[in-house]
């Protein structure tokens, strides 16, 4: 990969490298908000979803709103499928209301079971539920005075760290054949990696 471009918006994303730079930008923007930036600043106002699970639930809601057969990866960024369509989704998710408890009755718990927007929605809902459970278990260990150093099944508890881990995994991944072209399954693989990548 060549030197990363400066990516300011989803419209500039044209490749995996651009998407990685966009994830890093999102992570940096979210970190600024978390570290006490004025909540009235433009960066703060663009983040409706403040936590990992609220971000994931918002993605579930966004995918739910488009289960009419259209493909967000290819339709929302007309003429610009793939990585740009995925960047569009993340941009939309930042300000989509979370819609908690809108999990599908059936569940997809493995990334390699995902073949459609509906299945990605189920997988993201499973991740959101798992994250919330993981955080409850972690807090319960702390309140009981138990060692909680491993942090549970999620490598990171803060949204900007998860976005940063996602970007770092994309840079280091050797799974090029599974990432290109962008598919619902490759998005699920990326989310699975972001969950555990340190």
Task: Give, in order, the Cα–Cα distances in Å from 174 to each of 23, 91, 115, 170, 171.
Answer: 18, 26, 21, 9, 9
Give the contacts of 54 (CB within 8 A, at least 6 positions apart).
98, 100
Q: How far apart are CA 8 and CA 6, in angstroms?
A: 7
Q: What average pLDDT does this structure show over 81-101?
A: 81
- pLDDT at residue 86, rounded to an integer: 92
Of 96, 147, 155, the residue nearest 130 (C-alpha): 155
Q: Is the CB of residue 13 less than 8 Å from the CB of residue 182?
A: no
Question: Of 192 and 178, which is predicted with more confidence?
Answer: 192
Distances (CA, A) of 108 to 10, 19, 33, 111: 28, 25, 32, 8
Q: d(Cα 54, Cα 94) in Å, to the nearest integer?
A: 10
Which burial class, exposed, middle or buried, applies to 144 when counting CB atoms under 10 A from its CB (0-12, 13-18, 19+)?
Answer: exposed
Spell out the domain ranges in the chain.
Answer: 11-196
Strands (E), the chain: none
pLDDT at 63: 84
d(CA 147, CA 69): 47
- pLDDT exceeds 80 at position 49: no
Which residues, including other chains, have CB under 8 Å from residue 64's CB and lie 6 or more apart? 99, 102, 121
pTM: 0.81
Two structure tokens written together for 112: 């390699």
Give the whole-angstrom CA distance, residue 16 versus residue 21. 9
- Going by pLDDT thresholds of 50, 70 and 90, the confidence category of residue 1 is very low
Say yes or no to pLDDT of 79 above 60.
no
Cα–Cα distance, 131 to 40 (Å, whole number): 28
pLDDT in tens, 105-152: 567 789 999 998 888 999 999 999 999 888 888 888 878 887 766 667
Is the model's pLDDT at 38 over the cut of 90?
Answer: no
- pLDDT at residue 143 in the model: 84
């Amino acid at each position: 990969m060549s030197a990363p471009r400066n990516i300011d918006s989803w419209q500039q994303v044209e490749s995996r490298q651009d998407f990685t730079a966009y994830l890093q930008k999102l992570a940096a923007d979210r970190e600024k908000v978390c570290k006490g930036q004025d909540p009235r600043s433009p960066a703060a106002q663009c983040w409706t979803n403040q936590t990992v699970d609220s971000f994931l639930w918002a993605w579930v809601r966004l995918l739910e709103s488009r289960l009419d057969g259209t493909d967000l990866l290819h339709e929302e960024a007309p003429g610009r499928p793939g990585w740009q369509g995925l960047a569009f989704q993340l941009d939309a998710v930042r300000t989509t209301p979370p819609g908690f408890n809108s999990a599908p009755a059936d569940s997809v718990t493995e990334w390699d079971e995902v073949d459609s927007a509906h299945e990605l929605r189920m997988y993201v809902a499973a991740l959101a539920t798992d994250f919330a459970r993981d955080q409850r278990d972690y807090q319960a260990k702390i309140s009981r005075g138990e060692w909680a150093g491993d942090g549970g099944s999620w490598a990171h508890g803060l949204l900007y760290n998860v976005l940063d881990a996602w970007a770092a995994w994309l840079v280091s991944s050797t799974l090029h054949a599974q990432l290109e072209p962008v598919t619902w399954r490759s998005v699920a693989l990326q989310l699975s990696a972001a969950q555990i990548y340190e």
